[in-house]
Structure 1
Amino acid sequence: MPKKDKTMNKVIASLLLALMAAPLAAQTSGDIPKLVVGITVDQLRTDYLQMMQHLFSEKGFKRLMNEGLMYENVTFDFPKPDRASATASIYTGTYPSYNGIPSNTLYNITRKRVESVLFDISKMGNYTDETVSAQNLLTSTVSDELKIASDGFSAVYSIAPTFEQAILSAGHAANSAFWFNEANGKWATSTYYNDIPAYIDVANRENSLSERIDTLSWQPLLPISRYTGLPYLTQDFLFKHVFSKYKQQKYSLFKRSGLMNEEVTRMARTFIENGGLGSHSLPDMLNIGYSAANFQDKSIQEYSLEIQDTYIRLDRELGRLLDLIDKKIGLNNTVIFLTSTGYFNGEGKEAGVFNVPAGEFYPRRATALLNMYLMAIYGQGDWVEGYHNREIFLNHKLITDKQIPLEEIQTRAAEFIIQMTGVQDVVTSYLLLHGQWNNRIDAVRRGYHRKLSGDLLLEIQPGWEIVYENIDNTRDYVRANAIPAPLFFFGKNIKPQHVMRPVKATAIAPTVARILRIRSPNAALESALPEIY
């Protein structure tokens, strides 16, 4: 074949390939939404959504249930999920053993104090004196991966009532993360992030809660007769919480009220209307944190009307948010995912008249007795460094100086603690790292981080209360039952479906990554959920 013909054939082949690839490329880019909105609702329960469905509008949760992809039960598969560990798991697609976020707070052995898991003394706060950042988050988030894939061009913002929700959903590479400062009513951020839009400064100066809170009160949104969402909890008197009377605590109590979600939506509106989200050539991401916790983190027995009103108001805020997105960007250009942090603090202790086995466990007394026991074996010394979040920390420097094998002293300590009334089980860190694996150990291991967690991990019997004597006798009521947590996907190319099978929280980030056509976070363990294909 002449050389000229060969060259012509190559050109024709290249053109044919380009023509075939063009529709495919167009289809792929067209499948990607212009905006992803990630919504994490702290302590949201599927069963409460179902029981209160008759109280909802047609534009909020009902819309997600009827027009979206709904999973009834998200599992977190590690012990004691809380606001920080759950949010981190959702956005990183992995467990605390990898991402370094086992709980809201940690016991710092060096400083001998409890501090935030996000504490970072090297950073300053804007509109806050809190020194926090994403530095201690050890793996990437799906928000980070969008920034990386777009070479930084995608805008990524997060807003939430708490810095844990805001920072852990934003990740390391976001433009910025904002949370509500309960000291002054402003929206705060960290110098870890370098983008503070001018319109946020304006909102803080001219329209912050500090200008309005003294005129606000929280009362039932609907007539009292309609609050029938929790049929076993009947309360026939109205509530009215006037925040101005709380003085120094007014912002703190507002933050824990059903009105806080309205402030979050107000800030989300500011970003959507002023930030150009969804108008760029590459997709943007807005992460929003809401709360479905009960007032002041009290039990539903104490505040049964408040928890229902919180859900009703949250439903209205969700409807407002969806309408705003539809108006500004278009729901057909947006994918929204909404999920829960998978735990609930609102269960109260059963009355003694029902004879349900119960008791009180005092960590301070338990650790004092343990220290005395270890002194009887190994000699004088402060063998126990501290206790936090059902974990006991031993004095590793003293153990090393005395040349005592760590496995030996941990085993002796565990054998002593497990004999105490109310202790269901004790697992040592040595066993987690070096012992045989089984389902029980595997679950504990997922929530354990070798550089952050304690030497002894305690399981307290369900029905018992942990009483912290050194902080106003704060009580932690123990229940081991799972909380049903929902997951919704809604918007562009999402087909309505109701899925009953349990799904892992660690599958959420890979699913969002699949929707965006980007890599999953670098420690993500699961594949995307098949229903979105």
Structure 2
Amino acid sequence: MIKRIFLITFLVMLSNIGTSQTKTKINTSPKLVVGIVVDQMRYDYLTRFYDRFGEGGFKRMINEGYNCKNNHFNYVPTYTGPGHASVYTGTTPENHGVISNYWYDKFSKKTVYCASDPSVKAVGSDSELERMSPHRMKTTSVADQNRLHTQLRGKTIGIAIKDRGAILPAGHTANGAYWFRGKDEGKWITSTYYRNELPDWVKKFNASGKATSYFKEWNTLHDISTYTESGADKNQFEGGYKGKETATFPYDLAKLKDQNEGFDIIKSSAYGNSLTADFAIEAIKGENLGVDDITDFLTVSFSSTDYVGHNFGVNSKEIEDTYLRLDQDLERVFKVLDTKVGKGQYTVFLTADHGAVQVPSYLKSVKIPAGYFDTDAFKTKVEVFVKEKFKIDGLIENISNNQVFFNYDTLNKSNVKHEDLQNALSHFILQENQIDKVYTRNQLVGSNYTEGIAALLQKGFNQRRSGDLVMVLDPATIMYSRTGSTHGSGRNYDTHAPLLFFGQGIQKGSTTKETHITDIAPTISALLGITFPNGATGDVLSFILE
């Protein structure tokens, strides 16, 4: 009898073990992953404007999700193309090959654009300037890996006003990538890389007049006297719009549009983000994203924050108003996700593609070292020095993106050694005012830097595509106009970017542990239980995952 009871008990235990094993899941499968990149968003915009945000946008992500407070780009240069590629590939330009927005191609002897592709044509526009694809990005994105994992059944849709902000995140296998053609068209378009005709929902959106509806007054969302987290509305550090004497609120976009490239003025105002949110909401509905248990991807980049930052600067009331309005746009998108996909059924991350520097002329006015670098004068000095030193013309082929490219045809025909030119020119450049550091190709290829600016440069240096010398300017020294902000360096103002996660599979909390942009794609891959992007070098942030 005792043996029989023991046997029954043992069989029940085995049965329970089997049952528990069948219920165990080794990955989280949200119905939809939404990746959000806010173009030119510094981390401190979260803290500066936090008290003015509503409960449903940025605050919802922070309060319901995980906030990585010490998140950085771990490479140089910090531009839009490399930023978007790095977020979604989980690696740096050293591997994915997108070394800038534009770069000098030493093989074709011309400057190329990170998303341009002469083999395709625009769809939705007749412009020859909109022939775009992700073919210059050498590695896969996390969205690509999700497509492969689901046997191409999981959809990927990329959306941004900027073409590169839509194309690079969506990867090589996307079902669609859509960007906004401004000028006199005001339409969302794509290219034949993805499809030969716009889907009906895009045609319907373009015909709705939604873009035209934003030709209206842009005034502050709240009383301008309450915008205490930014500088004076009228100052000498902002650009503004053609046709308006001062860069001050309000802006009559309908009145100003003809002098500011038509629909492009919407792109460079806070309303460009609202238009992006409108279109993203229609994409969720039109593409039936997140309607089944096969994970889909929606990548959304809010580009107008970058246009506004470049024009008005980090400390402007225009930037403050743009982020307060973006907060409302995020809330609108999240509410649609709650309804269409379901609360707790989707996962979102939000980050940036780079930060931005305070306007150097403003910094100088408050006695902080800053400045402007004269690129044309520098190029002339370099060419004169090389010719006098080596008695040969044409040894320098190109100077761009803080890099110097040698002319190897001329080098090979001369008695000048590559190393001698490298060493002499790097020493000369280092003597120039506003130059902080210079690294040669031999140093970046032959050494292994683990910290400091050299390590950042090395991770941004692609052996095939990058130049022969790389320069680092002094802090807060830029190649830009005297008004507005820019970016591109390895300084903290350019590298420190927000990183928020929330939704299915995400813990609640925060950390000041250093994290990197390249950690995002591996973390989402681990969440989904899929293969990492094929060039990924980042780490899984296991502490944010449930």
TM-score of the pair, normalised by structure 1: 0.88
For residues 255-294 of structure 1, the aligned pairs below 5 Å read 255-291=267-303, 292-293=305-306
**Worse overlay, 190-199 or 273-282:** 190-199
Contact 1:36 1:285 in 2 (8 A): yes
Aligned residue in 2 for 1:203: 204
Aligned residue in 2 for 1:3: none
Give 1:332 deviation, angstroms: 1.3
Aligned residue in 2 for 1:314: 326
Give 1:478 deviation, angstroms: 8.4
Give 1:182 deviation, angstroms: 2.2
**Worse overlay, 405-414 or 244-253:** 244-253
For residues 507-518 of structure 1, the aligned pairs below 5 Å read 507-518=519-530
CA offsets 1:415-460 (integer angstroms, 9 cap, x no match): 1111111211111112211246453432211011122212111111
Give 1:204 deviation, angstroms: 4.9
Aligned residue in 1 for 2:6: none
- d(CA) in 1 for partners of 2:487, 2:499: 26
CA pair 107-243 structure 1, distance change in 2 beyond 3 A = farther
- d(CA) in 1 for partners of 2:474, 2:45: 26
Give 1:99 deviation, angstroms: 0.4
**Worse overlay, 80-89 or 342-351:** 342-351
Give 1:336 deviation, angstroms: 0.9
- d(CA) in 2 for partners of 1:112, 1:244: 43
CA pair 224-521 structure 1, distance change in 2 beyond 3 A = same
Give 1:144 deviation, angstroms: 0.3
SS of corresponding position for 1:482: helix
CA pair 111-362 structure 1, distance change in 2 beyond 3 A = farther
Matched AA of 1:245: L
- d(CA) in 2 for partners of 1:94, 1:405: 34
Aligned residue in 2 for 1:240: 251
**Worse overlay, 274-283 or 233-242:** 233-242
- The answer as to 2:432 corresponding to 1:427 is no
CA pair 111-251 structure 1, distance change in 2 beyond 3 A = farther
SS of corresponding position for 1:143: helix
- The answer as to 2:116 corresponding to 1:103 is no
CA pair 194-352 structure 1, distance change in 2 beyond 3 A = closer
> How many residues get paired?
515
- d(CA) in 1 for partners of 2:421, 2:50: 54
**Worse overlay, 93-102 or 432-441:** 432-441
CA offsets 1:83-116 (integer angstroms, 9 cap, x no match): 1111111101111000001211112335544331
Aligned residue in 2 for 1:374: 386
- d(CA) in 2 for partners of 1:29, 1:190: 38
Aligned residue in 2 for 1:466: 479
Of the three residues 416, 419, 425, the one matched with 2:428 is 416
- d(CA) in 1 for partners of 2:357, 2:335: 31
- The answer as to 2:152 corresponding to 1:152 is yes
- The answer as to 2:38 corresponding to 1:38 is no
CA pair 414-475 structure 1, distance change in 2 beyond 3 A = farther
Give 1:514 deviation, angstroms: 1.2
- d(CA) in 2 for partners of 1:429, 1:388: 15
Q: Which runs of 5+ in 1 are unaligned?
A: 1-12
CA pair 238-245 structure 1, distance change in 2 beyond 3 A = closer
SS of corresponding position for 2:61: helix
Of the three residues 491, 501, 510, the one matched with 2:513 is 501
Aligned residue in 2 for 1:135: 135
Contact 1:167 1:177 in 2 (8 A): yes
Matched AA of 2:229: G
Matched AA of 1:449: N
Aligned residue in 1 for 2:310: 297
- d(CA) in 1 for partners of 2:340, 2:352: 26
Contact 1:99 1:137 in 2 (8 A): yes
- The answer as to 2:394 corresponding to 1:397 is no
Contact 2:358 2:485 in 1 (8 A): no
CA pair 50-296 structure 1, distance change in 2 beyond 3 A = closer
Q: Which runs of 5+ in 2 are unaligned?
A: 1-10, 236-247
CA pair 463-322 structure 1, distance change in 2 beyond 3 A = closer
- d(CA) in 2 for partners of 1:141, 1:105: 20
SS of corresponding position for 1:326: helix
Contact 2:75 2:456 in 1 (8 A): yes
CA offsets 1:135-176 (integer angstroms, 9 cap, x no match): 111111100000000111111101011111111110001111
SS of corresponding position for 1:78: coil
CA pair 194-353 structure 1, distance change in 2 beyond 3 A = closer
Aligned residue in 2 for 1:90: 87
- d(CA) in 2 for partners of 1:178, 1:48: 27
**Worse overlay, 324-333 or 248-257:** 248-257
- d(CA) in 1 for partners of 2:425, 2:57: 52
Aligned residue in 1 for 2:458: 445
Contact 2:145 2:531 in 1 (8 A): yes
CA pair 225-456 structure 1, distance change in 2 beyond 3 A = same
Give 1:257 deviation, angstroms: 1.1
Give 1:62 deviation, angstroms: 1.2
CA pair 478-191 structure 1, distance change in 2 beyond 3 A = closer
Aligned residue in 1 for 2:164: 164
Give 1:208 deviation, angstroms: 4.8
Give 1:356 deviation, angstroms: 4.3
